[in-house]
Structure 1
Amino acid sequence: MKNTFGDNITMTIFGESHGEMIGAVLDGLPAGFEIDMDRLDWEMEKRKAKGKLSTRRHEADAIRIVSGFFEGKTTGTPLTILIENTNTRSQDYAALKSRLRPGHADWTAFEKYKGYQDYRGGGHFSGRITAAAVAAGAICRQILEQKGVRIGTQIRKLKDVEATSLASLSYDELPDTLNAFSEKEFPVLDAEIEEQMKAVIEQAAENLDSVGGILQTGVTGFPAGIGEPFFDSVESRLAHVLFSIPAVKGVTFGAGSEFASMNGSQANDPIQWSEEGTLYTSTNNNGGINGGITNGMPILFETIVKPTPSIYLEQDSADYLNHENVKLAIKGRHDPAIIHRARAVVDAMCAFCLLDLWMSHQAASAFEPAEAE
């Protein structure tokens, strides 16, 4: 089992949903960067379950940094984050030990780990583990922000309710808009659309069901020339970390699926010189990436989040150990939608990936040949 990702910076995650602790280790962080703990707590706050829109499992998610951090700054050594699980109800899962919950990883976990996996609350497959990833990625985000990079994510679509795409905004409007998303617990700027989305989630809960949707992320201030043409393209690296988030089933960049109905004359982004002497594109269908490498325009991508698999409706299932078909009605505490909480995870994983890519670029740039005199 591999739980580490990254090149110049690596993130290792560990723990189980109902274990004593979950956590993450960031190795390779540069030394001397100040970390705002209040801001870190706010990032964790955006992921927390609250009110009727989320599970009733409410965790404190108090972050303990036990290494790699001294007098408010990174030391350059492995930074270890610990988060206690304080509100578990493992008895809710006792009857489900071998009963396979549809949409979950129970079946595949049995096939891989032969019954030795911690099944309580989904164990290591649980979205609970993303709390540690949010803490780690939020640190990377603060480092990027000190370099002028801004990251923000909105709920672009929730079932049948849609918000305005970031692609419709001017480049000057985008940074402030991304900041506005980051300051909201429910990342939708239009108050009417926000209320419609919340109503859909509440209706799903009343129906003992769940809903999914699409998140749209924008990144500004990220330099041009970062990435690789093929296996380590910016798209492939971002897709790798985004698909590691539980419930993510699709990732698209720029115009995404709309490319399928375009002509080349519509899909291509016209390139121009600005009055300041810099290159830019007058449209951004390619989401700030060409040939796997950033072009300096805003990075835009969408992440498709499936409906929460834990629902209270009775479902057809099977018992893995007894080899019999069963009816399954899941008890316990579950989210009717996780998309508004998943936003914090997407932001964090995006920040971690982009910081790693930028540091890889800097390492290669240090060995560029000197210009001939």
Structure 2
Amino acid sequence: MRYLTAGESHGPQLTTIIEGVPSLVPLTAEDINEDLARRQKGHGRGRRMQIEKDQVQIKSGVRHGATLGSPITLVVENKDWTHWTEIMGAEPIAEEKQDDVRRKVTRPRPGHADLVGGMKYGHRDLRNILERSSARETTVRVAAGAVARKVLAELGITVAGHVLEIGGIRAESPAYESLQELKETTEASPVRTMDEEAGKKMMQAIDDAKKNGDSIGGVVEVIVEGMPAGLGSFAQYDQKLDAKLAQAIVSINAFKGVEFGIGFEAARRFGSDVHDEILWTEERGYYRSTNNLGGFEGGMTTGMPIVVRGVMKPIPTLYKPLASVDIESKEPFSASVERSDSCAVPAASVVAEAVVAWELAKAIVAQFGHDRFDVIKAQLAEHNERTRQF
């Protein structure tokens, strides 16, 4: 399985083409639109989310509610395109109109891709960088992730995400009976946390940051239950599944770190207080007494819940701008403001769910078959029985 995304923040649409999804997976637009709507919510989102109402159009690869095995094309239109048709149009514009139409950007914003992207691709108009490097691109990554989530759900695998920390305010570790309970509770929270008191403080911190022209980041956690043991590999560095998940998390805009299980806390403990002891029963097969390693050993899944966290830096577009340099005049200035959120951590937790779901579904399809979903289901069931009795 693989996918590519295309489109600019203020272009006509965002597109993803997905290859390798097996045939016979139940899939409708509503399966995808649910996650697209979740991505747009959250305390701290900016005006762009009031303009867009993201809805997917399935252009290929699905017929009568089931995947065909052929490439799936998903399109999400940008409603704001109507205000940018000349500025972002594909056709050349007359030289005498360029100053009026282009809205040229020559002042790079600290923390963004503007300056180094311009250097890399030779663009003197940095709008050519910021339009694609925008987190708007994550819209269709969430769409692709929703397809992967559907694959996993049909195999009894559940993915849920929530917010652990915003602006230094940390929620208590959530207690829940099931991931479904976690999902329902966090969906009712404007900051996607199970800790109601911490949630109130987080919202206040977001409001204070916005009032001060600033932004704040945080930490999100994704939990996956139902994954079989033995996915991934120890044999080569690039086949380790936790490494693939780490890359996927850090690929999300503004994410700067990742950890599994107790993560960096492991550096402060003895080995006897870190490693998960192995147990076995006839009913469960092998399992661990604890899950400090977050569902991975040797780059492979253990069958325990996968627990992965990512840290998101504050969004770098500030209404209290930082110092930068104009690439044309080389004069110092205070960085210009593009429309932005004061905090996108709650929305980022949905993106994190999507990229985790994608990597796990990809691993399952690679290990248990490529073409037919019914064959994958049967092979996964056989694998689970073998590992239980190993």
TM-score by shorter chain over 0.5: yes
Q: Which stretch of the first structure deviates more once superposed, 116-125 or 154-163? A: 116-125
1:165 aligned partner: 173
**Contact map agreement 2:118 2:129 (CA 8 A) in 1:** no
**Which stretch has the larger CA shift, 77-86 or 39-48?**
39-48
Matched, 1:218 2:211: no
Query: Is the 1:109–1:117 Cα contact (8 Å) retained in structure 2?
Result: no
SS at match of 2:310: strand
Q: Does 1:361 align with 2:354?
A: no
The letter of the residue matching 1:217 is: V
1:191-223 alpha-carbon deviations (Å, 9 max, x no partner): 222221111111111111000000011000011
Superposed CA RMSD in Å reads 2.5
Matching residue within 4, 8, 16 for 2:8: 16
Work out the CA distance in 2 between the residues paired with 1:310 and 1:201.
15
Q: Contact between 2:29 and 2:57, CA under 8 Å: does it hold in 1?
A: no
Q: Say which of 165, 174, 183 aligns to 1:179.
A: 183
2:17 matched residue in structure 1: 25
Identity of aligned residues (%): 32
CA distance in 2, matches of 1:23, 1:242: 21
Is the contact between residue 152 and residue 182 of structure 1 (CA under 8 Å) also seen in structure 2? Answer: no
SS of residue matched to 1:112: helix
Q: Cα gap change, 1:275/1:81 in structure 2, threshold over 3 Å: closer, same or farther? A: same
Q: Which amino acid aligns with 2:161?
A: T
Post-superposition Cα deviations, 1:76-100, rounded to whole Å, max 9, x if no partner, equal 1100011111125658x96661101
Query: Which of 333, 339, 351 pairs up with 2:339?
Result: 333
In structure 2, C-alpha distance between the alignment counterparts of 1:80 and 1:116, rounded to whole Å:
33
Q: Is the 8 Å Cα contact of residues 262 and 293 (structure 2) preserved in structure 1?
A: yes
1:309 matched to 2:316? The reply is yes
- Once the 2 structures are TM-superposed, how far is the Cα of residue 175 of structure 1 from its aligned partner? 2.7
Q: CA deviation at 1:323?
A: 2.2
Aligned to 1:66: 59
Say whether residues 1:119 and 2:119 are aligned partners.
Answer: no
1:282 corresponds, among 289, 294, 297, to 289
Letter in 1 for 2:335: L
C-alpha displacement of 1:120: 6.2
Distance 1:363 1:202, change over 3 A: same
Does the aligned pair in 2 maintain the 1:217–1:302 contact within 8 Å? yes
2-structure distance, mates of 1:181, 1:22: 31
TM-score by length of 1: 0.88
Q: Distance in 2 between matches of 1:344 and 1:182?
A: 11
Is 1:255 paired with 2:262? Answer: yes
Matched with 1:4 is none
The yes-or-no answer on 1:191 pairing with 2:183 is: no
Letter in 2 for 1:30: P
1:34-183 to structure 2, matched below 5 A, reads 34-48=26-40, 53-57=44-48, 58-87=51-80, 97-115=105-123, 119=127, 122-165=130-173, 169=175, 173-180=177-184, 183=187
Aligned residue among 350, 355, 358 for 2:356: 350
> 1:314 Cα deviation (Å)?
2.8
Retained in 2: the 8 A contact 1:152–1:181?
no
Q: What is the aligned partner in structure 1 of residue 329 from structure 2?
A: 322
Output the TM-score relative to the length of structure 2: 0.85
Contact 2:58–2:73 (CA<8 Å) still a contact in 1? yes
Distance 1:187 1:174, change over 3 A: same
Seen in structure 2, the aligned counterparts of structure 1 residues 49 and 306 have a Cα distance that, compared at 3 Å, is same
| Distance change (3 Å), C-alpha of 1:353 and 1:118 | farther
1:49 is displaced (CA, Å) by: 5.1
Sort the Cα spacing of 1:147 and 1:178 in 2 relative to 1 into closer, same or farther, 3 A.
Answer: farther
Q: Match for 1:360: what amino acid?
A: A
Partners of 2:120 and 2:336 in 1: CA distance: 25
Unaligned stretches of 5+ residues in structure 2: 88-100, 371-375, 380-385
- Give the distance between the partners of 1:137 and 1:291, measured in 2 at CA: 25
- Maintained 8 Å contact 2:41/2:346: no
> Which deviates more, 277-286 or 299-308?
277-286
Bigger mean CA offset, 304-313 vs 357-366: 357-366
Instruction: Write the deviation string for residues 312-354 of structure 1: whole angstroms up to 9, x where unpaired.
Output: 0032101123322222241x42100011111111111111110
Contact (CA 8 Å) 2:106, 2:124: kept in 1 or not? no
Q: Is the 8 A contact 2:233 2:240 kept in 1?
A: yes
What 5-or-longer segments of structure 1 have no aligned partner? 1-8
Does the 8 Å contact 1:18/1:121 carry over to 2? Answer: no
Alignment equivalent of 1:206, drawn from 196, 203, 211: 211
Of 122-131 and 28-37, the range deviating more from structure 2 = 28-37
Between Structure 1 and Structure 2, which shows a larger proportion of helix residues? 2
| CA 194–96 in structure 1, closer or farther in 2 if over 3 Å, else same | farther
For residues 325 and 311 of structure 2, the distance between their equivalents in structure 1, rounded to whole angstroms, comes to: 28
Q: How many residues align?
A: 354
Moved more, 116-125 or 315-324: 116-125
- SS state at 1:53 partner: coil
Q: Could you say what secondary structure the match of 1:65 adopts?
A: strand
Per-residue deviation, residues 221-260 of structure 1 (Å, max 9, x unmatched): 0110100113221111111221211111001111111011
CA distance in 1, matches of 2:35, 2:113: 27
Shift of the alpha carbon at 1:180?
2.6
